[in-house]
Each structure stands twice: as structure tokens, then as C-alpha cells.
Amino acid sequence: MTITTPNRRTDASADTTPLVPAAPPVREPEPEATVTFEIDGLETTVPKGTLVIRAAERLGIQIPRFCDHPLLAPAGACRQCLVEVWAPGRDGNLAKMPKPQASCTLEATPGMQVKTQHTSPEADKAQHGVMELLLINHPLDCPVCDKGGECPLQNQAMSNGRATTRFVDVKRTFPKPIAVSTQVLLDRERCVLCQRCTRFSEEVAGDVWIDLQKRGAQQQIGTFDTEVLGFAGETPVGAATLDTSGRPFSSYFSGNTVQICPVGALTSAAYRFRARPFDLVSTPGIAEHDSNGSAIRVDHRRGVVLRRLAGEDPAVNQEWVTDKDRFAFRWQSAADRITTPMVRRPQGDGTRGPLEPCSWVEALDTAAVGLQAAVEAGAGVGVLPGGRLTLEDAYAYAKLARVALRTNDVDHRARPHSAEEEAFLGHVVAGRTLTVTFADLVAAPTVLCVAYEPEEEGGIVFLRLRDRVVAGRTRVLSVAPLASRGLERLDATLLPAAPGTEPEVLDAIEAEAGEPLLADAATALAAEGAVVLVGERAAEVPGLLSAVLRLAERTGARLAWVPRRAGERGAVEAGTLPGLLPGGRPVADPSARVDMATVWGVDELPATPGRSADEILAAAAERRIGALVVGGVDPADHADPRLARAALDTVPFLVSLEVRASEVTDRADVVLPVAPPVEKPGTFVTWEGRPRPFAQALTSTSMADHRVLDLLADALGVELGTGSLAAVHAELDQLGGWDGARLPAPDVAVAEPAPVPPGHAVLATWHQLLDAGRLQDGEPYLAGTAKRPLARVSAATAAAVGVADGGALEVATDRGTLTLPVQVTDMPDHVVWLPTNARGCAVRDVLGAGTGTVVRLAAGRADVTTRAAAPSTGPVTGDTADAVSGVRIDEGERA
Amino acid sequence: MAERRKKPTGDVERAPRGGEVARPDEGYESLIEPRSGLSALLAPVGGFGVTLSNMFRPTVTEQYPREKVPTKPRYHGRHQLNRYADGLEKCIGCELCAWACPADAIYVEGADNTPEAQFSPGERYGRVYQINYLRCIFCGLCIEACPTRALTMTNEYELAGPTRAGMIWEKQDLLAPLREGQLAAPHPMVEGTTDTEYYRGEVTGVTPEQVAWVAEHRPDDPTLPQNAEKGATVPDHGTTRLEQQAITAAARRQGGAR
């Protein structure tokens, strides 16, 4: 916790641990066997199996290379790293290898003597020769190339190439560039055929996409058009070339190939021609899109973020990030950013009046008066911080609610949730950080995913798991209604479960189970180090989290809760739950309350257990709550968006802390602008409980939530003490963990599945990584790689409804209807799957439905894709709607 | 000052205080040999010799600004962004000039050429181009860095201006004026050519297709031959310069500058 605060107190007594302690440093394992050999006359000892080029790196000897990448298998494709090698022969005498060797594929052997270009004229000449050949067909368009200035080819041509060209003929050219997808462009003439991109897509992401074609001088990276082999249906929204299976290329990780391309062959459409490396100021940061806390690098110029790159963190994201983390950053500087506080001044005729910009003093005073009135009237105030906050911001909300507003009605869960979930979080999650980490995940022999899609709901978990699956070390099991493409690429074993029956399936995982699949799963989970990953969707199925706890106890597998949003875990630790104080202290526990009251310097804390977000919204809709303080919450994310909107409309007084104008600010009485992550320092907490502190990238006058709340509390006459990051950290350090009793384990009975009448089906749904979320606004190139929304049903269900594969399917509830192209999939009958919030498929908004809801199915008219019963509840459309609309028409024609 | 200074204590050897130099005991003696005779008599007025001799030489005073003397041909004056023969811009927005600039006086942003808006041959053009003449030191490193010879320097040196903002010259101020026969960008490249042909100088003028394209998309463009015949004129200067000139002219009217 103290990572972002320099000069932390060293006199802290030993028994207090920070609320969220930093992860211990990763220690490199002691190698079993070592090899001693010489590079350039320097003797070095390295673990057995080390490549010569790695050993040279450790010694600080630079060997030029293009194809070599530490996280990809050796290829020896570019031949730039040639070195002279002497090795002991059978007779024990040193003998020179007849030709220079590629050091990126050569394992060090005992007694070997390697001479690099620094000591061997032969190696130097060989490298110059390779460089000359690579440059023969490389265009001299560095001034227009985006890689210019940070290009390994440019740099190494200077350091290890000829000063002048001897080539006088015409260079090979290609028409350029190919748009591989809407966000990745391919200039084939710049390519040096290092195959980093193809190896990344094959080995790491599993989206086999482009590959080498043709021979000799005509060899090029390109796309194949062969027979259809791939997973059906998952096509991107925008235009894309075909992948190696003949389908339009679609990947959530393709941005990484742009970063690892050692020349300018792959460039990003969003960053194309925008800036030069010397323009950019780089600030390390943490991605705000998911709970993995990927390290990123924010490159900005004159207060404008121009691109983001993957940062390097071996313990978390290695060197990869998802495309969402890489490309979705424009929302932070969108046109609808709120820059000044705003209030509604009462009009002469008694109406509320329009929102008008005002001073901070006026806004804070207005908010304080309104909140004070609500508190004094006894109606109370509800606090909805939302799940995207930093730990410090969430802590400020938790403290504001308890100390200044005297209530436990605080809940950050802007998504379907349950009391069972809160008990689960209080029992096994809160206050237990770093019990399961990425390191445990990659060491686990078995990983069971429950209500969790590793690719869609957290890309880095998917990449880390896939790495071990490909290595044959980890087996992935998943309890889900269908095997998504992500699960297939993990070679996952599907334990099929219709929505609502997951607890039964989990309870049936026993060694003596009659079903071989389940017995097998029980054996696999009993292995030492097995991990169960349970997603936030588990809250939607009554009894599922209880069943997960039973399963973990039965099999001995370790348990980790993986939410989607970046702030969820930090908020759980900070205590923004109605029944939990910071560090997992139960509100109901008097000693925990006394503990916190001492730290917070108040006489006592409210003892009444708070209401959950849904209960707060329901109460607000019935005017049983006097005021709401709402953070970054989209009403459409709640289980019942209609109720959420009604609550925001009805509540007498609404204070909104927002980065951008939203549905909440439209209804608010006081709007207080806050800073987006790029304009504030803070700490995200990953699903592991690992603090991920990040620095402020841009100079800004915007204030983080914890500062605004400090000012608000000050206006209420309460000293919150969250005015600076250092103050919050000092308090969190003082606070420490909790070793008292936790919330009791939830034990919710499994609900009887609702009967499914004919013509109906049970809804299964989850979020896709790229969808209509507000944090992806303003990025048409990224939106083009989102998957096209479609409905999935089994063949029998489709036949019963009378829809052919690819036809239009109407999914309806009493609230509205969604019409989507249907994809017949191998899944349980009487189940329909929809993406939760894809563009044009806002399930919660239009249908008012969630996992387990029984919906009506009907064959749809082909020309209608989306129809909402209530016109006012349409999904929030971003700038990208235009870019996508053309595709929708095309889709309609196809259907 | 002297009272405040602490007196040296003990017998610590003090370094000489500032301003003191060792003075030779025997006093000062000039090394210039003393003159004698007539030259010693004329010595006090000897300095007038330079004055008197210059009275008979031609005067070198320049009557600037009434008379303007041409500079040497390679004088480093203000910059100019050049055009190809058909009016397309040479600048590709590569920022190498900004990179080379030791005074950080140049700011460039590149952008994509599209079929609807082709400003320069090839894929990329300079969307924003600013030179801050408050910073520029006229060293010429930028024009050496330019890979397309888009940026050169003219001999124009009258760069003073009344406002600071006006000293940041924008792209339209720096672009070379359109000569007769050139078409204002954007317009398509000459058919069948690439940026290589442009770079080699194989494009020597506008083609009828380009004229037709501009006539279709911007019928009022003053650089079109038909509009030029009707008397349409293209301003030689960009808006920043024109604004500056207007401010200066107004100040002259008020202040009575000649």
C-alpha cells in the first residue's frame, strides 16, 4: 500500500500490516544444473538450457536480433544474431563450428567459447551480410513509417550494418497497406519475415491468423483463404482479412503483434501517423479495464494520450495486454468530459432547473446541504461508488458513508449481486489478499472456471492459462452452458450446465460420481495446487457460491474470486459493502466497529447493517431514501436498469461524481467532476489482491474521488482525512488487516429451476471483452474487432423455434425484444446464449433479463436486428455507432 | 560590511580576500617602449588618424528600412514549405525537422492522406506545421534533415511582429505561394504515379484529370484555370501573417511611423 508513498513511516509497529500488502518480490528459482562457458572471453555460468543470446544479455553483450523474443519459442528466422562458436568435440579439443551459428537457437554447452561481433571479424562480417540482405527489399520510407525512431531494424542497421547501400536494382514492392483488421495494418514490403507475429498468434494467443506464404524473394506474411475449420460465428464487427482458417480474423490480443514487430510491418490504425517517439513522454501505468491490473505504458504528448503499450511485469501480464487495455483510452478525454462542478438551482416556479456550471464552493455547499437534510430527516443517504475505483477512492467512499453520512448503505456492485455473494466475499475474499496469485495459477495442475470466461472476462488470465495448457502442465475445466472459442483454445473440459443448474453440477463433482466426466473432474481437482476460479456472475445463480465453497472444502482446491472490473477487489478490501468494513471486518461485529471507530476517530459507527445496491435503488425508487451519492455507475449495468433509472429519477437529492456526462449526471442535482485514471495517481487491486499503484500521467487540475469526497465531508463538517494519497496510505497502513471473526459462510439452498414452457428458453449470458461499454467509446478501430452479436441455441432448440442456422432469432421478455442472427451451437437444449452488452444487444436494458431468466423465443424477421419495447431505454450509443451501423445493414442483408 | 565580517581568530592563515592582487614592490612599468621626438609630440592626436582616413572612404551605412540591400543568396531567412509542380505539398509530416531542431521551435503532426483529401504524394502529410519564430535560431538543421526537400529557407528576414502568438507561423503561412499552373491541395496525384515519381521530379505539372477533380469538388477554388481567367486571385500569405500585417498597419497609422 505504501508503494506510491515515498518516505513511508518506518516506525510503524511490527504487528500492523498494510490493508493491502504489496506482493513479495519474485525470487528466481535455483537452477538444477548449470553450464559454464565463455562469451567474448568472459566466463559465465548459466542454468542448463539457456540460449547463448540470453547468456550474452546477462553479461551485457549486445547481439543484434529480430526474431528472438524471450516469451516466444526460438525460431532462428532472421539469422541476424550469428556468432562464431568454438565447442569441445568428442576428443575434448576445442573445434570451431564450420559456419557462424544463430545464437538465438543455440543452447549453451559446457566449455563452449562464443565470439560475438565484438571479438570475431567473422561474426561481424556475417551480421553485416545478413543485414544487407534484409535491407535489400526493405523500403527506405522511414520518414513516413510509424516505427521510425524506435525501430530495431533502423537501430541495428546503424550499429551492425553497412553505412552505404550497394544495391542498385528496383526493390520489391507491394500495394500497401493491408488492413488485417480494423486496428492492425500490414505493410508487407517492410516485413523481414521474423515471424514474431505468427508465433505470437500461434503460441500465445491461439488466434492463428497470418502466416508465411510463397517462397524465396516473394515470401511474405499474408492471409490464407482455405476451407473453413475454425470456430463458427465469431466474426468481428468491422472489416478484417481472413485468418488461416478462412474466417475473418478476430482476436483480442492482436495489438501485441504491433508492439513486438521489430520493423514497421504491423502498425496500429489508431496510432498511424500520429506522433514520433521523441514527441512522447512515457509514464508507466496500470490498465483500468479489468481486474488483472496489467502493467502498461502511457505515451502522451502535450497533455494528450496518443497510445498505450504493454508494460513488462513478469508476475502479472508478462509483456502482453489485451487490445482493450491497449487501445481503449479515448474515453478519458472524450468530448463529454465534465470539467466544472454543476448544480441545479431551484427555479422560481419550483422546478429543479437545468444543470449550470458553478464554483466548487457552491457545488460542495449545495451537496452538503442536501445530504445533511437527508440525514437529518432520517431518510438516510445511499452511496453507490461503482466498481471502477482505485483502492483509495473506494476507501474514501466507505469512510464517507460511515463517518459523515452515518449509514452502512454503501455498495459498489453495479451489476447483478446477491446477499449470498456478500457473505461469500466477507467469508473468503475480503482481507485475504494474495492467497491465489498468477504464480499459483500457472503452477496449478487443474483450474476449474465457474461462471467465468477467462478470455472474455479477463484476458491476461486466459493468456497465462493458455501458456501452461500449451506446455501440457495445466488442465482447464469449466462449468458453463457452452464451450466458447476461448475455452476451446484452452483445451478446456466442459462440464455442461444450463443456467441455474451449476450448483447441482458442482455438488455432483465427486470421485464416486456415476458420470465419468464429473468423477474425473473430482480427481483432477484433488491434485495438489488445483485452483477454482469463480467469476462475479456466480452471484446471479442462487446457491452457486455456497456450492463453490462446498466443492473447495471437499476437494481441497484453492479458491479465487475473479471480478471483471478493475476496482471491485479494491472496493471489497476498502469496505464499500453494506455488511463489511475495511479489511473484511463485519459490520455486525461490535469489536470490528470499535476497531474502525478508533481508527476513524469517531465515537461509534452505525450498527444497522446496510442495504445492498439493489435494495438502495428499490428504496430510492419508493422515496424511502433521502439522497444518493453515485460514483461512476451506468444504470444500464444494474440487474434492472429500469429500476435504477426510476431510483435516480425519484430520489429527492442526487450527487454524482463523474468523469463524463452520463445518465446519472443528467439526473443529478449536484455534479462533481473527478479525474480519470490517467490524471490521478492511485492503486488498483487485482483479483489476486495485489496492489498495483500507478502514477499520474497527465498534468491536470482534476481531482481524484478521494479528494473530492474529502472536500465534501469538510463541507458537511466532518474531517475525512483523505485529502491526499499519502494521508490515505498512512491511514490504511495504520488500519491493517483483521484477525477477528469473518462473515459466516453462505449456505443458500439451490433453487429449483424455473419450468421452461414450450417456445421459451433459459437465458445464459456474459459480457464480451469488447462491447458497448462506455470505457470503449471513441475508438472505432477497436470497436471494429468486437465480435458480432449473435444468439446461440442448440440444434434441437433452433428446430423447435423454427430457425435455421444463421437465421434471425427473436428473444423476448415482457419488456422488449432482441433480434439477432442465430448460431447453432453444441449446448444444452432450452437454453439461449446472448452477449450481455454487445452493440445492439443490451440484454439487461432491453430485456430486463439476466442469467437464468426464462425468455420467449421466436423466429425473427430478417430485416430487424434490435427492437426495444420501451423507446426510452435504448442502449447508450457511443461515437462508434456510425462505424458499426454499416456492418449491421450488411448483416441484415446476409441474414 | 567590514564590521560584520568576523575577525580572524587564532593564527589560522587566511586566504587573500577577493579583489586583492599581489602588487610588485617596485611599482608598475609599461612594456610598451616610450616614443620619442615627433611621434611623442603627435601621440595625443594619433587616434584621429583612423577618423580622418575614413572620411575619404565610401560610406557603409545602410539606409534600412528605406533602402533594402539584398542578402547573400544562402542567407538563412524564414522557412518555406515547398510544393510539387502540380501543387501537392512536399511535406510528409515526418517530424524529422522537429527532431533536428536544437531550439524546439518546430511542431508537426502527421496524418493520413485519403482519396478524398490527398495533400501530398503517398500516405502521409503534415496536418499541423508550426514554426515558432520566437525560438528559431535559423541554424538550418531542419532543412538539412528534410527528406523530401519540403522545407527550405528563403532570404526573407523581416520577421518582427507585434504579438507573440503571431510569431508562431502556421502551415498556411509557411507554404509556398501557388504559382501559375499549380492547383491548391488537396487533389489526387497524377494518374499512374507514386510518390517515387514525384520525388524524382517526373511530375511536371497538373493534368486535366486533376483539374477536373478540383472543379468537381471545389468549383470555386481560385487556382482553377477557369476561375483564374475570371480574375480570381490567390492570397500570397496565410492568415497569421495577414493578421500580423493588419496589426502593424494599424499601429503605423496611429503612431505615425514612416
- Chain B: closest CA distance from residue A299 (Å): 15
Name the 3-class secondary structure at A563. coil
**Sole residue written with cell 476507501:** A395
* Interchain contact, B124 vs A273, CB within 8 Å: yes
* Interchain contact, A143 vs B122, CB within 8 Å: no
Distance, in Å, from the CA atom of A390 to the CA atom of A405, rounded to the nearest integer, reads 21
Distance, in Å, from the CA atom of A43 to the CA atom of A58, rounded to the nearest integer, reads 12
Work out whether strand A627-630 and strand A653-658 pair parallel, antiparallel, or are unpaired.
parallel
Shortest CA distance from B120: residue in chain A: A144
Taking alpha carbons only, the member of A691, A776, A883 closest to residue A322 is: A776
A284-312: burial string, b at 16+ Cβ within 10 Å, e else: ebbbbbbbbbbbbbbbbbeeebbbbbbbe
CB-CB neighbours of B205 under 10 Å: 13
CB-CB neighbours of B235 under 10 Å: 12
* Interchain contact, B110 vs A274, CB within 8 Å: yes
What pLDDT does residue B14 have?
A: 58
CB-CB neighbours of A453 under 10 Å: 22
The predicted-structure confidence for A482-491, as pLDDT tens digits, reads as follows: 999 999 999 9
What pLDDT does residue A348 have?
A: 80
Neighbouring residues of A642: CB distance < 8 A, sequence distance ≥ 6: A815, A848, A870, A873
Dmax over CA atoms of chain A, in Å, equals 104
The predicted-structure confidence for B200-254, as pLDDT tens digits, reads as follows: 999 999 999 999 999 999 999 888 988 888 888 877 778 888 888 888 888 777 7
Name the 3-class secondary structure at A662. coil
Neighbouring residues of A848: CB distance < 8 A, sequence distance ≥ 6: A640, A641, A642, A813, A814, A815, A816
* Interchain contact, B94 vs A144, CB within 8 Å: yes
Task: Please state the ipTM of this predicted complex.
Answer: 0.82
Q: Which three cell numbers stand for residue A124?
A: 561481424
* B98 chain-A contacts, CB cut-off 8 A: 276, 278-279
Is A631 in contact with A436 (CB distance < 8 Å)? no
* Interchain contact, B112 vs A272, CB within 8 Å: yes
* B110 chain-A contacts, CB cut-off 8 A: 144, 273-275
Q: Percentage of residues in chain A with pLDDT exceeding 90? A: 78
Question: Alpha helix (H) ranges present in chain B?
Answer: 37-42, 48-54, 96-100, 141-145, 171-174, 195-200, 208-217, 225-229, 239-255
* B112 chain-A contacts, CB cut-off 8 A: 272-273
Shortest CA distance from B96: residue in chain A: A143
A with B: how many residue pairs have Cβ under 8 Å apart?
35
The predicted-structure confidence for A325-376, as pLDDT tens digits, reads as follows: 999 999 999 999 999 999 998 888 878 889 999 999 999 999 999 999 999 9
Distance, in Å, from the CA atom of A70 to the CA atom of A199, rounded to the nearest integer, reads 12
Region B180-186 average pLDDT: 90
Of B111, B147, B148, the CB nearest to A273: B111
Which of B119, B124, B195 is most worth mutating to test chain A (most A CB atoms within 10 A of its CB)? B124
What strand order describes the sheet that includes A281-286? A281-286, A295-301, A304-310
CA-based radius of gyration for chain A: 29
Distance, in Å, from the CA atom of A126 to the CA atom of A147, rounded to the nearest integer, reads 26
Work out whether strand A184-186 and strand A178-179 pair parallel, antiparallel, or are unpaired.
antiparallel
Identity of the residue numbered B182: Q
Q: Which three cell numbers stand for residue A261?
A: 514487430
| DSSP H/E element including A446 | strand A446-450
| DSSP H/E element including A87 | strand A82-88
Shortest CA distance from B104: residue in chain A: A279
| DSSP H/E element including A816 | none
Is A424 in contact with A549 (CB distance < 8 Å)? yes
What pLDDT does residue B21 have?
A: 67
* Interchain contact, A274 vs B95, CB within 8 Å: no
Is B93 in contact with B108 (CB distance < 8 Å)? yes
Is A614 in contact with A639 (CB distance < 8 Å)? yes
B242 or B255: which carries more pLDDT confidence?
A: B242
Taking alpha carbons only, the member of B143, B169, B146 closest to residue B76 is: B143
**Sole residue written with cell 492503486:** A683
Is A201 in contact with A257 (CB distance < 8 Å)? yes
* A279 chain-B contacts, CB cut-off 8 A: 95, 98
* A272 chain-B contacts, CB cut-off 8 A: 112
* A273 chain-B contacts, CB cut-off 8 A: 93, 110-112, 123-124
Is it the case that residue B89 has pLDDT exceeding 80?
yes
Dihedral pair phi/psi, residue A89, rounded to 5°: -85, -165
Distance, in Å, from the CA atom of B72 to the CA atom of B65, rounded to the nearest integer, reads 17
- Chain A: closest CA distance from residue B151 (Å): 14
The vertex-A836 CA angle with A841 and A776, nearest 5°, equals 80
Cis, bond preceding A177 (omega within 30 deg of 0):
yes
* B94 chain-A contacts, CB cut-off 8 A: 143-144, 148, 276
* Interchain contact, B95 vs A273, CB within 8 Å: no
Segments in chain A below pLDDT 70: 1-16, 213, 217-218, 222-248, 862-895
| DSSP H/E element including A791 | strand A791-793
* Interchain contact, B99 vs A273, CB within 8 Å: no
Q: Which three cell numbers stand for residue A313?
A: 511485469
- Chain B: closest CA distance from residue A141 (Å): 10
Which of B96, B119, B120, B130 is most worth mutating to test chain A (most A CB atoms within 10 A of its CB)? B96
Of B92, B95, B112, the CB nearest to A276: B95
Which of A145, A176, A276 is most worth mutating to test chain B (most B CB atoms within 10 A of its CB)? A276
Q: How many residues does chain B have?
A: 258
* Interchain contact, B148 vs A144, CB within 8 Å: no
Q: Is residue B13 exposed (0-12), middle (13-18) or buried (19+ Cβ within 10 Å)?
A: exposed
* B95 chain-A contacts, CB cut-off 8 A: 275-276, 278-279
Is A835 in contact with A768 (CB distance < 8 Å)? yes
**Sole residue written with cell 432448440:** A797
* Interchain contact, A144 vs B98, CB within 8 Å: no
- Chain A: closest CA distance from residue B96 (Å): 7
- Chain A: closest CA distance from residue B110 (Å): 5
Distance, in Å, from the CA atom of A279 to the CA atom of A301, rounded to the nearest integer, reads 6
* A144 chain-B contacts, CB cut-off 8 A: 92, 94, 110, 122-124
Shortest CA distance from B92: residue in chain A: A144
Identity of the residue numbered B63: Q
Distance, in Å, from the CA atom of A640 to the CA atom of A618, rounded to the nearest integer, reads 10
- Chain A: closest CA distance from residue B111 (Å): 5
Distance, in Å, from the CA atom of A245 to the CA atom of A234, rounded to the nearest integer, reads 12
Handedness of CA A609, A615, A616, A618 (dihedral sign): negative
- Chain A: closest CA distance from residue B112 (Å): 7
Distance, in Å, from the CA atom of A176 to the CA atom of A173, rounded to the nearest integer, reads 9
Work out whether strand A304-310 and strand A791-793 pair parallel, antiparallel, or are unpaired.
unpaired
Dihedral pair phi/psi, residue A160, rounded to 5°: -130, 30
* A176 chain-B contacts, CB cut-off 8 A: 123
* Interchain contact, A275 vs B111, CB within 8 Å: no
B108 forms beta bridges with B129
Dmax over CA atoms of chain B, in Å, equals 99
Work out whether strand A381-384 and strand A627-630 pair parallel, antiparallel, or are unpaired.
parallel
* A276 chain-B contacts, CB cut-off 8 A: 94-95, 98-99
Q: What is the DSSP letter of A242?
A: B
| DSSP H/E element including A712 | helix A705-715
Distance, in Å, from the CA atom of B252 to the CA atom of B258, rounded to the nearest integer, reads 8
First-to-last alpha carbon distance for chain B, in angstroms, is 54
What pLDDT does residue A893 have?
A: 35
| DSSP H/E element including A496 | strand A493-496
**DSSP of B199-228, one letter per residue?**
HHT---S--HHHHHHHHHH-TT-TTSHHHH
* Interchain contact, A144 vs B123, CB within 8 Å: yes
Neighbouring residues of A862: CB distance < 8 A, sequence distance ≥ 6: A807, A808, A892, A895
3-state secondary structure A220-278: EEECCCCCCCCCCCCCECCCCCECCCCCECCCCCCHHHHHHCCCCCEEECCCCCCCCHH
The predicted-structure confidence for B12-38, as pLDDT tens digits, reads as follows: 555 556 666 677 777 778 888 888 888
CA dihedral A405, A409, A410, A413 (to 10 degrees): -160
Work out whether strand A670-673 and strand A831-835 pair parallel, antiparallel, or are unpaired.
unpaired
| DSSP H/E element including A212 | strand A211-213
Categorise residue A864: left if φ over 0, alpha if ψ from -120 to 50, beta otherwise.
Answer: beta
